[in-house]
């Protein structure tokens, strides 16, 4: 059976949204619902949870049994967005003021903490046997932890003078890789119980490839159409964020270009002019960083195909579709 990913996302998205409203009621007068729903209403395509459910179904499981875990990943994702927006001092997300801007830093940190509690609660009430539930809790906790480790590298990478592609890849595997694989791994656990270690390892390996692929594409989007934060181009440059472009160029650039690059990256966001952004873009182009990034991301996707060929399912297409889909922009 061929599965159309976008169609599945639409169908599963409705189920996810219904359960989300149960787990986090939108109208409670508790200082938590309001900031959380201000954030949740700004959008999100429910792609991560949908991919969990698609994986579960493709491996012979009942997607309804994976629904709580799928939602937990979506909640975790939003918890990270709330905390990351404070950490990165982002004032806009999807053309709306971020939660910390609208409700203050204290409420934004605390609302993120609440989301995490509800994510764990959601897994704990999953309609599945205890052993699988514990396995899901392990996967979820590992993913949460590795993502935080990646974020620690990210926070402290700003303007690092000896930044390399290798450092970038380590960061991205941690911050994005576990996270992208987590839903698929969970879907596999629900489908097949605990006797699928081999498949689980393969799906984690997929994540290690898809994470960088996704992030490199995201880095490129920031330089072309902007990340939906008021349509601003070059937000990563203003933030001094160590993108693939920055890592690659840092390794190649001559001393003059490298010094100029670091100087602009280290500037405070409000002091970085549009001319500065253009200057960095020119340096990136001079070293072919943008072309290289595009090619590198596409190569990673091709590598995932080899792993997908080893996953025990008759329908390889759906996993390849997922890999392609996840390497595109999913915010």
Site residues (vs a copy of itself, CB under 8 A): 30-32, 83, 86-88, 104-107, 109-111, 113-114, 116-118, 120-121, 124, 130-131, 133-134, 137-138, 141-142, 144-145, 148-149, 151-153, 155-156
Nearer to a copy of itself, 6 or 145 (CB): 145
29, 238, 269, 276, 286 from 272: Cα distances, Å: 41, 6, 5, 6, 21
Nearer to a copy of itself, 93 or 133 (CB): 133
Nearer to a copy of itself, 36 or 213 (CB): 36
Nearer to a copy of itself, 30 or 270 (CB): 30
Query: Phi/psi class of residue 94: alpha, beta or left (left: φ > 0; alpha: ψ in -120 to 50)?
Result: left
One DSSP character per residue, 237-277 reads HHHT---HHHHHHHHH--HHHHHHHHHHHHS-GGG--HHHH
Nearer to a copy of itself, 1 or 106 (CB): 106
Q: How far apart are the first and last CA of the chain?
A: 28
Q: Is 27 helix (H, G, I), strand (E, B) or coil?
A: coil
Q: In the complex, what is the shortest distance from the CB of residue 86 to a copy of itself, in angstroms, rounded to a whole number?
A: 6
Q: In the complex, what is the shortest distance from the CB of residue 111 to a copy of itself, in angstroms, rounded to a whole number?
A: 8
The answer to whether the beta carbons of residues 82 and 42 sit under 8 Å apart is no
Nearer to a copy of itself, 110 or 331 (CB): 110
Task: Spell out the SS3 assignment of 74-142.
Answer: HHHHHHHHHHHHHHCCCCEECCEECHHHHHCHHHHHHHHHHHHHHHHHHHHCCCCCHHHHHHHHHHHHH
Q: In the complex, what is the shortest distance from the CB of residue 122 to a copy of itself, in angstroms, rounded to a whole number?
A: 10
Tokens of 82: 């709330």
Q: In the complex, what is the shortest distance from the CB of residue 223 to a copy of itself, in angstroms, rounded to a whole number?
A: 23
Q: How many CA atoms lie within 13 A of 168 on its CB side?
A: 22
Q: In the complex, what is the shortest distance from the CB of residue 62 to a copy of itself, in angstroms, rounded to a whole number?
A: 21
Task: Name the residue with tokens 């409420």.
Answer: 107
Nearer to a copy of itself, 75 or 322 (CB): 75
Q: In the complex, what is the shortest distance from the CB of residue 182 to a copy of itself, in angstroms, rounded to a whole number?
A: 13
Specify which residues 96 forms β-bridges with: 93
Q: In the complex, what is the shortest distance from the CB of residue 75 to a copy of itself, in angstroms, rounded to a whole number?
A: 12
């Amino acid at each position: 059976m061929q599965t159309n990913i976008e169609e599945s996302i639409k169908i599963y998205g409705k189920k996810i949204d219904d359960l989300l409203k149960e787990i986090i009621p939108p109208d409670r007068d508790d200082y938590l619902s309001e900031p959380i729903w201000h954030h949740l209403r700004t959008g999100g395509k429910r792609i991560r949870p949908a991919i969990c459910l698609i994986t579960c179904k493709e491996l012979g499981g009942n997607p309804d049994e994976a629904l709580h875990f799928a939602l937990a990943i979506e909640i975790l994702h939003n918890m990270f967005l709330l905390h990351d927006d404070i950490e990165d001092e982002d004032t806009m997300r999807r053309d709306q003021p971020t939660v910390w801007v609208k409700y203050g830093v204290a409420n934004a940190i605390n609302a993120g903490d609440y989301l995490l509690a509800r994510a764990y609660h959601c897994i704990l009430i999953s309609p599945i046997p205890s052993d699988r539930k514990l396995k899901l809790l392990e996967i979820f906790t590992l993913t949460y932890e590795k993502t935080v480790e990646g974020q620690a590298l990210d926070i402290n990478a700003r303007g690092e003078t000896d930044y390399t592609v290798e450092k970038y890849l380590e960061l991205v595997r941690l911050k994005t890789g576990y996270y992208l694989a987590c839903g698929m791994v969970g879907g596999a656990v629900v489908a097949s119980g605990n006797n699928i270690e081999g498949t689980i390892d393969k799906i984690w390996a997929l994540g290690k490839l898809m994470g960088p692929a996704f992030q490199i594409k995201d880095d490129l989007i920031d330089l072309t159409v902007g990340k939906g934060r008021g349509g601003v181009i070059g937000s990563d440059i203003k933030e001094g964020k160590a993108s693939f472009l920055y890592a690659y160029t840092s390794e190649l650039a001559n001393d003059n270009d490298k010094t100029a690059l670091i100087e602009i990256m280290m500037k405070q966001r409000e002091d970085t002019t549009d001319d500065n952004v253009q200057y960095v873009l020119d340096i990136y182009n001079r070293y072919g960083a943008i072309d290289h990034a595009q090619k590198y991301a596409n190569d990673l996707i091709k590598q995932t195909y080899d792993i997908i060929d080893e996953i025990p399912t008759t329908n390889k297409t759906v996993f390849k579709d997922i890999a392609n889909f996840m390497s595109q922009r999913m915010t």
